Structure 1
Amino acid sequence: MNRIKSVNLVFLITVLLSIVGSVINTWIFRLTGNYFLVLLMSQIILVIPSMIYLIIQRVNVAQAIRFKRLRLSNIILIIILAYLITPLMNLINAISMLYVQNDTTDIMNNIVENNGFFLSLIMVALVPCILEESVYRGIFYNEYSKVNVLKGMILSGFLFGIIHGNLNQFSYAFAMGIVFALLIEATDSILATMIVHFFINGTSVVVMAVYPKLFQFLETVYGSDKFNAEELIKSMNSGILDDMTLGYVIQSYGITALIASVLAFIVFKTIAKNSGRWEHVKNIFKRENKGITGYSPKEKDVNYTVEGDISLQDSYYEVPDIKSKLITVSLVAGILICVVLMISKELFTVQVPEQSTENFYTMIRLFIFNK
C-alpha cells in the first residue's frame, strides 16, 4: 500500500474512531464533569491513527511533519500574519452565519466559564495547535504535496474543514487550511502554522474571558439604561445573523478583510523571502511544476543558529509521486461519513440549554469537532 492510500485510510479510521470515542467521552464527562479532560482526551484519541502511521512508516517524526526552527524575526511576522488573516476568516464566518447556525461561541463561553482562562487556553489553543497541525498539515498535507502541491493544499484544507462537522466552521476552516499549507511552503516549517493556529484560537479565548467583564464594568460606569451588558453579551453569542443581508455583511466586513488580506500577502511574501523560499512558492503556481514538493533541489535550506545567524544547507529533493492518485475509496468513505454527520447536524440539531450540556449529541459534537 502506497503512502497516499495509507494516509487516506488514516483519515477514515480517524473519523470512525471519533464516533466510537464520543461514547467514551460521554462516560468521562458524566464521571468527572470536566470539559478539560473531555477535550484533551478527544485530541489524544484523534491523533492516535496518525501516530500509528508514523510508527509503521518508520520515519523521523520531526522530519516527516517538517518541524524546524524559525528565525525570531519570522516568528514576529508570523504572529502579525495571524491577526491579518483573521478579518478574512471573520468575513467568511459572517457570510456562513447568514444561512447556518454557529454554536461555537456558546460552547467556548461555557468552556471559559467552567474552566478558567488558563485551562481554556490549553484546551482550545495549545493542544489543538500542536496535535491538529501535526495531523492535517504534518501528515496529510505533506504526503499529498508529494503528488501535487496545489491539490494537496486544497484537499488537506477540505479535510481540515469537513472534520469540524458543521457548515459554519467548514467554511472558514477550509480557507484557513489552505493558508496554513501555503505558510508551510513559505517557511518549510510546521512550527509556523502551529504559531498562527495558537494565536487565532488563543485570541478567541481571550475575547470570551475579557468581554463579559469589560461589558459589566461599562454597565457599572454608564448604567444599565445606557449600556446593557447582558444584551450585548447575548448579541455577541448569537449563533446566526438572520436579521442581516449578504450585502450588509460584505459592506461591514469586506473592506477590512480586503485591506488586511493585502497586508497579509505583503507579510507572507516577506516571510518567504526571509526563509529563502519565495521563488519556491512562486514555482508552485506554475503549470510546469505540477508535482513540485516542499523540497527543491535548486535551493538551500535556511537554518538559524541560536545567535540568529543564517546557516545554508543543501536541501534534499524528493521525487514527486505523480503516479499516485489522491482520491481513494477510504478517503471518499471518510468524507461521506463527515458529510452525513454535517447534514444531520444542520437538519436535526436544536439549541441545547447550558444545563443540558451532557446531552449525548452535544458530547458527540464536542468530541468529534473539538469545539
Structure 2
Amino acid sequence: MEVRKVNVFFPIFIVGYIALSILAGSVMAVLVNMGIPMPDWIQYVISEGIILVIAIIYMVVNRIDPMKDIPYKRIGFVDGILSLAAGYCMIPMVLFLNSITMLFSTNYLEEGTTTLLTYPFFMQVILLAVIPPLVEELVFRGIFFGSYRKAGMSGAAIMSGLIFGCFHLNINQGLYAFAIGIVFAYMVEATGSLWSSVIAHFAINTYSIGVVQLLKMTGIYASDGQAVGTLEGEGELAASAGALATVMQLIVLLALATAFMMLAVLCIRIMAKRHGRLENIKVRTEGIKGIKKYLSAPVVVGLAICICYMIAIEFAG
C-alpha cells in the first residue's frame, strides 16, 4: 500500500536529511578552517541537493518513474497566471502566521538568508525561488501527496501539508508551510499538474527578495543587507509598541489574509472548473475525520523527531 511505504520513508527521509546536513556543514567548516573559501550559496544548493538525492533513492527503490507516476502534465498560460496569482494571494496568510509564531519563536529564515540578499537579484531568484520549489514540490506534492491521494483527497492534503511543515524543522516556518502545503495540494488536484504548485511556491518565495530589491532601489536597504538608518531604533520601536499595537497589527493581517485567501480559493476553483475537476477539490469532512488512516507508527515517529528538533533548537537559541 502506498500510504504504508511513504510513511516508512518519512522518518528515514528526516533523519537522513538532518544527518547529511550536519555532515555537509562539518565538511564545509573544515574546508573554511583550511583556508578554502565557501560562499553561503553553496549551503543552499547542498541542502536542496540532499533532499533531491534522498527522493531519487526512494523513487529508484520503489521503481517510481517521475515523468510517468508524478503529474508533470503541462499547464496552459491561463493556469500559469492563475497559479501565480494564487501564490501571491497566499502571502498575507503567510505574513499573518509568521507574525503569530514570531511571538514565541525565532525567525531562522530571516537569519539564514541575510547574506544571500546581498547577491545579484537573478542569483537570489535562482537560489531561493527556483531551486526550492522544483525540488520540494517533487518530494512533498509529488511523492507524499501523490501517495496519500490514493487513500482520499482531504486527508492527503492535510498529511502532505503537515509533513511539509514539519520538514522545515523550525516552528516559525513550520506553521505557515503547513498551511500553504495544504493549499498547494489542492492546486495540484485542481489542475492535475505539479507545475501549478511549483509556480505558486515560486511566487511566495519571490516575495521577500522582491521587497528587498525594491528597498535597495529606493536606498532604504544597503548593499550589505542591512536596512539603512533603521536597525538601531527598530528594536526600541518594537519594544515600545505594546501589546495593543501587536493585537491591532494581527487583526489587520488576519483581515487581509482572509480576503486574499478568498481570492486564492477563487483562482483554484477556476482552474478546477477549467479541467473538469471541481468535484475533486470539495472538502469532505469524512476525509478529515478519517485522517487516522494515514497515520502509522513510522510517520508518527518522524513527526515526533521533527517536533523534538524544533523545540530543541528554540531552547538552544
Q: Could you say which TM-score interval applies, normalised by the shorter chain?
A: 0.7 to 0.9
1:14 is matched by which residue type in structure 2? F
Q: Cα deviation per residue 1:207-253 (whole Å; 9 max; x = unaligned)?
A: 233324424389xxxxxxxxx932169849x9999844553233221
The reply to whether residue 136 of structure 1 matches residue 140 of structure 2 is yes
From 45, 54, 57, give the equivalent of 1:52.
Answer: 57
1:209-224 superposed matches below 5 A = 209-216=213-220
> 2:160 pairs with 149, 153, 156, which one?
156
For the 8 Å contact 1:129–1:198, the answer to whether it is kept is yes
Instruction: Report the counterpart of residue 252 of structure 1 in structure 2.
Output: 252
Matched residue, 2:300: 332
Structure 2 SS opposite 1:247: helix
CA deviations 1:187-206 (Å, max 9, x no partner) are: 11110000011111122222
- On the 8 A contact 2:2/2:150 being kept in 1, the answer is no
Q: Does 1:101 align with 2:101?
A: no
Which amino acid in structure 1 is aligned with residue 273 of structure 2? K
1:274 aligns with 2:242: no
Distance in 2 separating the partners of 1:252 and 1:280: 33
Whether 1:73 aligns to 2:78 is yes
2:108 and 2:172 in contact (8 A); partners too: no
Structure-to-structure mapping, 1:1-371, within 5 angstroms? 2-21=1-20, 22-28=22-28, 30=32, 31-113=36-118, 115-216=119-220, 229-231=228-230, 235=234, 243-245=242-244, 247-282=247-282, 285=284, 287=286, 290=287, 325-349=293-317
CA contact (8 A) 2:2 2:148 kept: no
Structure 2 gaps, min length 5: none
Q: What is the distance in 1 between the residues matched to 2:129 and 2:90? A: 17
- How many percent of aligned residue pairs carry the same amino acid? 27
Does the C-alpha gap of structure 1 residues 217 and 258 become closer, same or farther in structure 2, counting only changes over 3 Å?
Answer: closer
- Alignment partner of 2:169: what SS? coil
Given the superposition, is the C-alpha separation of residues 161 and 241 from structure 1 closer, same or farther in structure 2, using an over 3 Å criterion?
A: farther
- Residue 216 of structure 1 aligns to a residue whose secondary structure is coil
- 1:308: which partner in 2? none
SS in 2 for 1:68: coil
User: 1:314 aligns to what?
Assistant: none
Q: Secondary structure at the match of 2:220?
A: helix
Of structures 1 and 2, the larger Rg is shown by 1
| Compared CA separation, residues 272 and 213, structure 1 to 2 (3 A) | same
Residues 95 and 249 in structure 1, CA contact (< 8 A), matched pair in contact too: no
Deviation string 1:274-303 (CA, Å, 9 cap, x unpaired) is: 122112223x5264xx59xxxxxxxxxxxx
Shift, 1:261, TM fit: 1.8
Q: Which amino acid aligns with 2:303?
A: I
Contact 1:96/1:168, CA 8 A, preserved across alignment = yes
Stretches of structure 1 lacking an aligned partner (at least 5 in a row): 219-227, 292-321, 350-371
* RMSD value, Cα: 2.8
Contact kept in structure 2, 1:105 and 1:239, CA below 8 Å: no
For 1:42 and 1:328, the matched residues in 2 are separated by 28
Opposite residue 106 of structure 1, the aligned amino acid is E
Partner amino acid, structure 2, of 1:211: L
> TM-score, normalized by length of structure 2?
0.86
Between the aligned partners of 2:93 and 2:240, the Cα distance in structure 1 is 17
In structure 1, C-alpha distance between the alignment counterparts of 2:181 and 2:277, rounded to whole Å:
20
Q: State how many pairs are aligned.
A: 303
Q: Work out whether residues 191 and 271 of structure 2, in 8 Å CA contact, stay in contact via their aligned partners in 1.
A: yes
Equivalent residues of 1:98, 1:244 under 8 A apart: no
Q: Deviations over 1:85-132 (max 9, x none)?
A: 11112111112212222132232222122x332222211111110110
Native 8 Å contact 2:84 2:200 kept in 1: yes
Residue 265 of structure 1 and its aligned partner are, at CA, apart by 2.0
**What is the one-letter code of the residue matched to 1:119?**
M
Q: Distance in 2 between matches of 1:47 and 1:233?
A: 41
Where is the helix percentage greater, Structure 1 or Structure 2?
Answer: 2
Question: In 2, Cα distance between the equivalents of 1:216 and 1:286?
Answer: 48
**Mapped contact 2:212–2:221 kept (Cα < 8 A):** no
In the alignment, which residue of structure 2 is the partner of 1:294? none
